[in-house]
Amino acid sequence: MKNLILMMLFSKIIILTPAPITLSDKWVEVVPKEPLRAITSGAGIFIDVTSIVGVELENDSLRNTIPPGSIIAKLIDKQGRELKMTNGDAYSTSKDTTELILLSETTMPIKNDFIKLIIKSKKNIESIKITWKNCKL
């Protein structure tokens, strides 16, 4: 119940890249206007890949286009500690978007301020947008 109340009061979606960007094998640095803070373990990085795969897809189509483990991201906190995240089989679709969900290799720390995101891909992925969603969906 406490998590539900926190999500209703404090859940937040922060667009980290308002304009589309390209991911490559070089690190791309994204500095949010305000620190990213998880209020539940479901907080994470969502990558809009609609321009690449469309909205009506099957998991195999997404896996073939952007294989699991091909996107690597690191959230960096004020002390310089890194939280590594990668894409797996998790994704989200709506009537007009498809998003990959990057998951942490460990438990998402709650109430930790992340001041920077660095992200890269094993292959070029063009025209994507990155969002922080701070709630369990």
What CATH number should be reported for the domain holding residue 65?
2.60.120
Residue that wins the pLDDT comparison between 2 and 137 = 2
The per-residue pLDDT for range 63-72, each reduced to its tens digit, is 888 999 999 9
Q: Where does the pLDDT of residue 137 fall: very low under 50, low under 70, confident under 90, or very high at 90 and above?
A: very low
How far apart (Å, rounded) are the C-alpha atoms in residues 40 and 32? 19
The total of structural domains in the chain comes to 1
Tell me: pLDDT of 134 over 90: no
Handedness of CA 70, 136, 109, 19 (dihedral sign): positive
Q: What is the DSSP string of 29-87?
A: EE--SS-EE-SSTT-EEEEE-HHHH-SS--HHHHHHHS-TT-EEEEEEETT--EEEEEE
The per-residue pLDDT for range 25-61, each reduced to its tens digit, is 999 999 999 999 888 777 889 999 998 888 866 667 7
| Local structure of residue 26 (DSSP, 8 states) | S
How far apart (Å, rounded) are the C-alpha atoms in residues 87 and 101? 6
> What is Dmax (Cα atoms) for the chain?
42
> In residues, how long is the chain?
137
What domain range is 7 assigned to? 2-133
Residue type, 100: L
> Hey, which of 4-8, 11-15, 85-89, 115-119 has the most confident mean pLDDT?
115-119
Q: What pLDDT score does 9 carry? A: 57
The per-residue pLDDT for range 75-116, each reduced to its tens digit, is 999 999 999 999 988 888 888 999 999 988 888 888 789 999
